Structure 1
Amino acid sequence: MKISAFTVDDVPMIQKGDDLAKIVADRVTLENEDIVVFASTIVSKAEGRRFLLEDIEPTAEARELAVLNKEDPKFIQYVLDTSTRVLIKHPLLVQTVFGNVCINAGIDRSNTESGYILLLPLDSDRSAREIRDRLKELTGKTVAVIITDTNGRSFREGQIGVAVGCAGIAALHDRRGDVDLFGHELKITIQAITDEVAACANMIMGEADEGTPIAIIRGYKYIKDDRGIKVSYRSDDTDLVRQALAEKIEKEASKTATEKAKKIRSEG
């Protein structure tokens, strides 16, 4: 297999309402089975997910977490509003309303004007499908689309690109039941295909002032699927790390409640 990867050049500064598919179609001659990779920041901008930090009132919880994380309480409030569960208070690791687990709910302050933040798309799988369908309409080509963000990794330093949405490509390739070079049956191997592609694209798209938030991966033979990225998220009953973190949070809350009760009784 031979794979090529290249960025889309001359991408303009994205504004709300911009047609991302047309931006690609006007600059690249796509081929069938290309994978078009978009940084989530430009998808968020096109979908109007840019907000002014001043337009929110932080709660007491947000103020408490802001002190702990040396952050703006208003920023923390946005994190809480797009999360379903806090797993670690510092750094602020949360389970988002989108289902993924990440620092600060994936909210971005880079690649946008000062004083503004970018939230992840409301439904990145849906966004990927809409862009994929629009590319088909404009070019006649059948492609896959992946929307990426950067995430840290448990037990390792550094961040890599991961998929937060996808269309036309299977997020996972279940290799269980296949055999290796020596005839041994694979028992647990499930490849995170879209994350691997996202990491590849992230290398050439960059993280700073490169101005290349769209990449094309060509030549990779992938499984076609439209179930999106959510099939790759572990459930609560299989995610041992999330279970341990949730248990730690519950113990800390119980300890705090016990200490408050003791203080009340002693003062009474």
Structure 2
Amino acid sequence: MHTYSEHLKINKNSWDAASERFFGRTALPDYGPYAPSENQLQLFGEIAGKRALEIGCGSGHSIQYMLNNGAAEVWGLDLSSKQIEAAKRVTGSNSQVRLFESPMEENPGLPDNYFDVAYSIYAIGWTLDLSQTLANIHRYLKKGGTFIFSWEHPIHSRVIFDNGSAQFNECYYEEIPALHKAWKPQPAIFHHRKLSTYINELVSSGFMVEKVIEEVEWPAAARGNETTWYSDLKANYFPATMIIKSKKL
């Protein structure tokens, strides 16, 4: 059984290897596969003048979205050094941006009660310690601050299609870390959690859940057949993406 530190190292190496493949993918205003966009949902409201923090900032395209919409400051952290390098290229030399190479479970020096909004686009589910990560985010936010995140819907990885029939291939209730079956090119540790776990951990960390979104938005072009991880066929039966908006009490 690997330790926490070993799991972090596995995931850092994996994301460094996958960085180029995810350059610019799944970034605001998009929340994820088959999900309505921020242009439709307007979850953030007015961004201009706000201090924002991105958890798992990836290649920096969501940070650039925030800047384009008038954010006063945008800070980002990511486990992968390759992703941080990409984010620096995307956002350029900008005094409004601060980037940290760090696991989300650890505080690399971010201030308490500083940010108006925190967000995470398809990254929060990679945390190895959800409770600690949410406690950190709660501490970074001002009172009344908003936390919005999207992630793969917990039901999605539990179901496969075999000859057109949907079947559970893993137990939905089992919440243990394991290698992600679809992850390439190197293994990464993925900790499956129930939807209720995300909601209950938010509440326990001092957040009030304001909205949970599971609606499906169909892309202009088909994503693929039943053999792909995200597909039109799967989206006919269950959502690929969940989005949760909450507020620090």
TM-score where L is the length of structure 1: 0.23
Relative contact order: is structure 1 or structure 2 higher (C-alpha 8 Å, sep ≥ 6)?
Answer: 1
Higher Rg of the two aligned structures: 1
Tell me which protein shows more helix as a share of its residues: 1
